[in-house]
């Protein structure tokens, strides 16, 4: 039985390689953009209030936290969308 399954899958390519690459680029861009927006917003507030560099650093921290929160949400969405027959059961088989 297992040999038939192995013979069936020989020479096949992954089905969703484009989907995986798109997801990876989404993760990277969400983190970078959120950090840049937070840092730039803090920089603008620092220039306006004259409290350099404290609000820029605070914006960097909040931007990073927002980026990781977005990544967490994206992984949750990815797992919910891919919970089908292709996933192994709780025993790993």
pLDDT in tens, 13-61: 555 667 778 888 999 999 999 999 999 999 999 999 999 899 999 999 9
Residue 85 included in any domain = no
The predicted pLDDT at position 92 comes to 54
Residue 51 lies in a domain: yes
Does the predicted TM-score (pTM) go above 0.85?
no
Q: 29 lies in a domain?
A: yes
DSSP assignment, residue 28?
Answer: H
Q: What is the pLDDT of residues 70-88, one digit of tens each?
A: 999 999 988 888 776 555 5
> Do the beta carbons of residue 35 and residue 63 sit within 8 Å?
yes
The reply to whether 40 falls in a domain is yes
Tell whether 19 is covered by a domain. no
Domain presence at residue 84: no
pLDDT band, very low/low/confident/very high, at 9 (cuts 50, 70, 90): low
32 in any annotated domain: yes
DSSP annotation of 14 reads: P
- Domain of 66 in residue numbering reads as 24-79
Residues found in the chain: 93
Total tally of structural domains belonging to the chain: 1
Residue 16 lies inside a defined structural domain of this protein: no
């Amino acid at each position: 039985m297992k040999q038939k399954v192995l013979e069936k899958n020989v020479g096949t390519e992954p089905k969703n390689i484009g989907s995986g690459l798109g997801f990876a680029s989404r993760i990277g861009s969400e983190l970078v953009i959120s950090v840049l927006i937070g840092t730039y917003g803090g920089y603008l507030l620092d220039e306006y209030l004259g409290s350099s560099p404290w609000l820029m650093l605070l914006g960097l921290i909040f931007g990073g936290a927002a980026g990781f929160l977005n990544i967490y949400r994206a992984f949750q969405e990815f797992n919910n969308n891919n919970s089908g027959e292709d996933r192994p059961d709780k025993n790993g088989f």
